[in-house]
Chains A and B, each alone.
Chain A
Amino acid sequence: MAEPVFNAESVPVLALGYRFQFEPAQNCNVLLYPEGMVKLNGAAGEILQRISEKKQTVAELIAELKVAFNGADLDDDVYTFLEEAYNNDWIRPE
């Protein structure tokens, strides 16, 4: 595994040219980028929607998700997702 890119203080933002939106015809959240589209599952959608709407630290993002999901213990999942999303070029630390 490579060194993790994100820590509690980093601010994840969508990579240049990436756009998050809800697609009625697919009935799901998607990430659009040059000549392509990624359909997002529920959890990925929740995280990327927040990243696309508001600049905040990973710690703040996790706190917000915990409120939305009844205090679920999701820290590890979020970090894992952020690293994967970074490796896919979807997001980067600001």
Chain B
Amino acid sequence: MTGSDQNKAPGSIGGSIGSVRDQIRQPLWLLAELTYACPLQCPYCSNPMDFASVKKELTTEEWLDVFRQARAMGATQLGLSGGEPLTRPDLVELITEARKMGFYTNLITSGVGMDASKVAELKQAGLDHIQVSFQASSEDLNNLIAGTDAFQHKIEMAKAVKANGYPMVLCFVTHRQNIDQMEDILDLAINLDADYVELATTQYYGWAMHNRDQLLPMKEQLERAEAVAHRYQQQQKGNMKIYYVVPDYYEERPKACMNGWGNVFLTVTPDGTALPCHAARELPGMSLPNVKDMSIDAIWNGSDDFNRFRGFDWMTEPCRSCDEKEKDFGGCRCQAFMLTGDPTNADPVCSKSPHHHLIEEALERGRLEAEKPITEAKPLVFRNPKNSKQICGL
């Protein structure tokens, strides 16, 4: 007599509300990218390279209207992300109102821009959940990857989260530069008395894609890290939960991206563009509907963008006649486009894809880059407005 449709707990951008596949499509998950402003400069950031082109963010009223509409269509989970959501001066107001509407509110933050009293204020506002991201386990590497001095402050904030009655949920995005610290990462989490740790593999979108040669871990690094993670999982059973996300570049099958295009997931970007996933802006031929011009209902049900890769008719071979297509929907459309040039192709992560060699070649390039002496290796490009403008010619 248990309830049905159990889902997994914390996750980063993808999340999982896989529950209602058998029912009408509803935007159960609203990811509100409130702003692209951010005090950190992570080179693995999944934000779009041209984020600096976004000048005008939605106003408080506009966001609340988005929340109301999505809620009326059945959305229960609200992710507040960015950029750094704490840079929005109206964050507390947005949370207060969203909570009143009945949302389960998740704040996804680097922790930079808050202090202990802010955490208490967020709690007061009814915020349900906070996830604090770390760049690494040591002060030096963390600050190097973050492009700023943030480590000690993050530690304080992780503690403040717990002191305010929240579970402590930490997210480490792993890549070649920090993955060998797996023990240290998990020891840090244990010392902080964390409740959940997500070891999220870098997904290659936005800045991460740009820095891919410098971020892709090598197979032997992964195997080691995975063994460490599993050992700690056993040790910490009943105490701290460790989610280890396997990197798709080393898989034979792609991820079931977004639980299917336009199925449960709706992203609204800082300027009001509505997307089926946070990376879809970069696909060719998108109409990029904006919540300022159209209702969420019209966007979700009627727009070309959201209908584009629903169902299976858009597929090309080998997906079209594949008996696994209902499991993974052919993988990620953005990854298919970025790597093969055609978003209707199979995600090249799939070993059945005729483009699978592109993944192997990328891994090989990463290895070659890793073996170079530091002086010759490509530098990491940091995510900041200056680089955004320079690289995108803004």
Cβ of B10: which chain A residues have Cβ within 8 Å of it?
34-35
Least CB distance, A14 to chain B, in whole angstroms: 12
| B96 CB within 8 Å of chain A | no
| A81 CB within 8 Å of chain B | yes
Cβ of B28: which chain A residues have Cβ within 8 Å of it?
37
Contact of A85 among B2, B4, B26, B131 (CB under 8 A): B2
| Contact present for B74 and A25 (CB under 8 Å) | yes
User: Residue on A with the closest CB to B76?
Assistant: A37
Are A38 and B3 also in contact (CB < 8 A) when A17-B167, A23-B74 are? yes
In whole angstroms, what is the CA distance A77 to B2 when docked? Answer: 10
| A41 CB within 8 Å of chain B | yes
Q: Which of A26-79 contact B (CB under 8 A)?
A: 26, 30-41, 43-45, 48, 77
Main SS of the interface on chain A?
mixed
| B374 CB within 8 Å of chain A | no
| B250 CB within 8 Å of chain A | no
In whole angstroms, what is the CA distance A23 to B19 when docked? Answer: 14
Across chains A and B, the number of contacting residue pairs, with CB separation under 8 Å, is 97
| Contact present for B73 and A25 (CB under 8 Å) | yes
| Contact present for A35 and B11 (CB under 8 Å) | yes
In whole angstroms, what is the CA distance A38 to B4 when docked? Answer: 6
| A7 CB within 8 Å of chain B | no
| Contact present for A39 and B5 (CB under 8 Å) | yes
In whole angstroms, what is the CA distance A4 to B6 when docked? Answer: 22
In whole angstroms, what is the CA distance A81 to B2 when docked? Answer: 6
Contact of B3 among A35, A44, A89 (CB under 8 A): A44
In whole angstroms, what is the CA distance A5 to B207 when docked? Answer: 48
User: Residue on A with the closest CB to B196?
Assistant: A34
Q: Which of B1-41 contact A (CB under 8 A)?
A: 1-11, 15-17, 19-20, 26, 28-29
| Contact present for A77 and B9 (CB under 8 Å) | no
| B72 CB within 8 Å of chain A | yes
User: Residue on B with the closest CB to A42?
Assistant: B1
Least CB distance, B131 to chain A, in whole angstroms: 8
In whole angstroms, what is the CA distance A21 to B16 when docked? Answer: 19
Tier of interface size on chain B = 35 or more
| B229 CB within 8 Å of chain A | no
* Residue in A16, A36, A38, A41 with the greatest tally of chain B CB atoms within 10 Å: A36
Cβ of A84: which chain B residues have Cβ within 8 Å of it?
1-2
In whole angstroms, what is the CA distance A84 to B169 when docked? Answer: 24
In whole angstroms, what is the CA distance A34 to B8 when docked? Answer: 9
Cβ of B166: which chain A residues have Cβ within 8 Å of it?
16-17
User: Residue on A with the closest CB to B26?
Assistant: A25
| Contact present for A80 and B1 (CB under 8 Å) | yes
Are A34 and B2 also in contact (CB < 8 A) when A21-B102, A89-B9 are? no
In whole angstroms, what is the CA distance A6 to B10 when docked? Answer: 26
* Residue in A25, A48, A88 with the greatest tally of chain B CB atoms within 10 Å: A25
| Contact present for A34 and B9 (CB under 8 Å) | yes
Are A25 and B72 also in contact (CB < 8 A) when A35-B9, A36-B7, A89-B9 are? yes
| B278 CB within 8 Å of chain A | no
| Contact present for A16 and B167 (CB under 8 Å) | yes
Cβ of A37: which chain B residues have Cβ within 8 Å of it?
5, 7, 17, 19, 28, 76-77, 104
In whole angstroms, what is the CA distance A19 to B19 when docked? Answer: 17
Cβ of A77: which chain B residues have Cβ within 8 Å of it?
1
Interface digits, B282-295 against A, CB 8 Å rule (1 contact, 0 not)?
00000000000000
In whole angstroms, what is the CA distance A23 to B71 when docked? Answer: 10
In whole angstroms, what is the CA distance A30 to B17 when docked? Answer: 13
Cβ of B17: which chain A residues have Cβ within 8 Å of it?
35-37
Cβ of A81: which chain B residues have Cβ within 8 Å of it?
1-2
Are A16 and B195 also in contact (CB < 8 A) when A25-B74, A36-B16, A37-B77 are? yes
Cβ of B20: which chain A residues have Cβ within 8 Å of it?
26, 39
| B128 CB within 8 Å of chain A | yes
The 7 sampled A-B contact pairs (Cβ below 8 Å) are A17-B129, A23-B74, A32-B104, A34-B9, A34-B104, A37-B104, A81-B1
The interface of chain A, by Cβ under 8 A from chain B, is 16-17, 19, 21, 23, 25-26, 30-41, 43-45, 48, 77, 80-81, 84-85, 88-89
